[in-house]
């Protein structure tokens, strides 16, 4: 009985009596699970499996689980149903992360900032389920697919912020770099989000928006945006070049200032990631958009999105409050206070 009780304690403590490390671990699990779901969701779209399960919330009108439907291959059904199944561990992780943040009381006080951030995770999954159902029932309307992807990116951003905030205090923001560099990093986040949105328009316009097979065996395309593919692709590329210029300015500014090492490191990661994205983007375009290479491009963009967010978050911190540790707050380190004063 004692061993069973000890085992149960080990299982439940990270959720019901969480330490800082436990909350950080749950937040990291949320980041990873959301990133994986986005990547597999793109695999569904690029393999034309979006209607592998043509009904919602069931797979077909007569089956809750994966079952053959007219006009769909078994592989399409398996890919789409598999992606739906990944939602369940995502819901579990999001729920446990929220409970852990709710129960986490450093110094005896609840971290309300962590509670609100973690609450966005399960709420976001519920919203995603609704949007996903609408996407299926509207036969992959490209506007709905774009919203589906961008909502996933927003949930991922909330998970990344939560993961960073666990190791910070709940006090006021303290700038770790000059104001101009923080503004550039914030602009980089906004423009990267714009590039993700433009990417969904390119996919929703091009040949990989999805196809289905009717009852007579004829291939039919799903609805698409009625834009010239060359124009939306050029817009997407132009935004990429602008982000590249921003990243160069940020890296130079961070390198020749008293910026934290983490900020410099993330700056280089963003710059290298953008270069890689550019190469993949041009190669896929001039090779007529092979689905596998497009998937690599989209998956890399998810990693780039995380790095851009971490870059911005590394340029600031939050001071500890007395309630965060249960002890009187200590003054900021000299280097931090000097940078903050300059900012």
Residue (of 83, 87, 284, 300) closest to 203 by Cα position:
284
Do 220 and 214 meet the contact criterion of CB atoms below 8 Å apart?
yes
- Residues 258-295 as b/e (b if ≥16 CB within 10 A, e otherwise) read ebbeebbebbbbbbebbeebeebbeebbeeebebebbb
Q: How many CB atoms within 10 Å of residue 298?
A: 23
Q: Domain residues of the chain, as ranges?
A: 2-327
Residue (of 184, 218, 205) closest to 311 by Cα position:
184
Residue (of 203, 153, 152, 199) closest to 45 by Cα position:
203
Angle between helix axes 20-46 and 142-165 (nearest 10 degrees) is 160
DSSP symbol at 315? T
Do 204 and 225 meet the contact criterion of CB atoms below 8 Å apart?
yes
Spatial distance between the Cα atoms of 68 and 227, rounded to a whole number of angstroms: 34
Spatial distance between the Cα atoms of 269 and 266, rounded to a whole number of angstroms: 5
Tokens (6 digits) for 213 = 């097979």
Do 294 and 46 meet the contact criterion of CB atoms below 8 Å apart?
yes
pLDDT in tens, the chain (343 residues): 566 666 667 778 888 889 999 999 999 999 999 999 998 888 887 776 666 667 777 777 767 666 666 556 677 777 777 878 888 899 999 999 999 999 999 888 889 999 999 999 999 999 988 898 888 888 778 888 899 999 999 999 999 999 999 998 878 888 999 999 999 999 999 999 999 999 989 888 877 766 555 555 555 666 778 888 889 999 999 999 999 999 999 999 999 988 899 999 999 999 999 999 999 988 988 888 888 888 899 899 999 999 999 999 999 988 776 656 544 333 344 344 333 333 3
Do 82 and 40 meet the contact criterion of CB atoms below 8 Å apart?
yes
Instruction: Give the pLDDT score at 110.
Output: 87
Interacting residues of 43 by C-beta distance below 8 A, sequence separation 6+: 49, 79, 83, 295
* Count, residues in the chain: 343
Cis omega before residue 57 (within 30°)?
yes
Tokens (6 digits) for 180 = 């101009």
Do 75 and 291 meet the contact criterion of CB atoms below 8 Å apart?
no
Spatial distance between the Cα atoms of 192 and 184, rounded to a whole number of angstroms: 12
Tokens (6 digits) for 138 = 């509207």
Instruction: Give the pLDDT score at 290.
Output: 86
């Amino acid at each position: 009985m004692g061993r069973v009780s000890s085992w149960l304690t080990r299982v439940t403590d990270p959720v019901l009596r969480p330490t800082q490390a436990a909350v950080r671990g749950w937040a990291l699990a949320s980041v990873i699970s959301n990133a994986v779901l986005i990547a597999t969701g793109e695999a569904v779209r690029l393999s034309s499996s979006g209607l592998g399960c043509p009904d919602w919330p069931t797979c077909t009108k007569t089956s809750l689980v994966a079952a053959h439907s007219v006009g769909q291959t078994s592989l399409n059904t398996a890919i789409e149903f598999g992606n739906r199944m990944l939602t369940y561990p995502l819901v579990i992780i999001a729920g446990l992360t929220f409970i852990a943040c709710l129960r986490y009381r450093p110094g005896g006080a609840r971290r309300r900032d962590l509670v609100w951030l973690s609450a966005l995770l399960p709420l976001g999954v519920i919203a995603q389920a609704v949007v996903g159902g609408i996407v299926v029932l509207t036969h992959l309307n490209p506007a709905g697919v774009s919203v589906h992807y961008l909502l996933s990116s927003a949930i991922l951003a909330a998970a990344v912020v939560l993961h960073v905030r666990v190791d910070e205090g709940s006090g006021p923001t303290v700038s770790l770099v000059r104001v101009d560099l923080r503004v550039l990093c914030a602009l980089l986040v906004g423009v990267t989000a714009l590039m993700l949105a433009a990417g969904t328009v390119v996919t929703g316009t091009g040949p990989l928006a999805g196809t289905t097979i009717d009852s007579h065996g004829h291939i039919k395309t799903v609805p698409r945006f009625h834009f010239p593919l060359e124009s939306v692709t050029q817009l997407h590329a132009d935004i990429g070049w602008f982000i590249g210029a921003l990243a160069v300015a940020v890296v130079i500014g961070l390198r020749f200032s008293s910026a934290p090492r983490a900020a410099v490191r993330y700056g280089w990661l963003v710059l290298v990631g953008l270069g890689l994205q550019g190469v993949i983007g041009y190669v896929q375009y001039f090779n007529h958009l092979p689905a596998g290479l497009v998937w690599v491009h989209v998956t890399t963009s998810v990693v780039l999105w995380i790095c851009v967010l971490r870059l911005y978050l590394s340029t600031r911190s939050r001071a500890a409050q007395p309630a965060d540790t249960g002890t009187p707050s200590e003054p900021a380190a000299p280097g931090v206070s000097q940078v903050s004063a300059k900012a």
